[in-house]
Structure 1
Amino acid sequence: MQNAKKLYYGEKITVTFQPEKCIHSGVCVKGFPSVFNLSKRPWVDPDAATAEAIARHIDKCPSGALEYEHVDGKSDKKEGA
């Protein structure tokens, strides 16, 4: 399925993953293994850390394959990032 987004719902943040955009840099899993763990299913656990910490880490994703939205509707995503 082309352009399929995978959503991972947490209590305070929803993480979206777009596999077709991913360049497999490993920034997510190497930098925050408690949240992004390829040996677990689901591999994203949006309740394993604070929403703010997860958002800051997702902002480091070089491909933009990971995005987030706070459950309260707030988005901290930097403009142009």
Structure 2
Amino acid sequence: MMSKKVYKGEEIEVYFDAEKCIHSGICVKGMPEVFDLKKRPWVNTVGASADKITAHIDTCPSGALTYKWHTKPSDTETEKE
């Protein structure tokens, strides 16, 4: 069974791997405007700037949340997965 889900936005795609998640709550506590378990989909890729979302995803202790840039204000496309 595949546990990885994709949440597509204009600038980034956010990936969530349920099998890696340790339920630390850092995502929902630190950025509830983007990560809200009461909503469907629970990841809102337009709830904050893509830069802020990716910086917050970088704090995920398990690596369950990752992302891929579609467009990046800098010179090259970056992928963290």
TM-score (norm 2): 0.87
Gaps of 5+ in 1: none
1:69 corresponds to which residue?
68
| Deviation readout 1:26-71 (Å, 9 max, x if unpaired) | 0000000000000000000011111100000000000000000111
Gaps of 5+ in 2: none
1:26 corresponds to which residue?
25
The number of equivalent residue pairs is 77
Q: Which has the higher strand share?
A: 2
Find the residue that maps to 2:32 and give its secondary structure.
coil
The root-mean-square deviation of aligned C-alpha atoms, in Å, is 1.7
Q: Which runs of 4+ in 1 moved over 6 A?
A: none
What's the % identity of the aligned pairs? Answer: 57
1:43 corresponds to which residue?
42
Looking at structure 2, the residues matched to 11 and 48 of structure 1 have their Cα atoms a distance apart, in angstroms, of: 12
TM-score (norm 1): 0.87
1:15 corresponds to which residue?
14
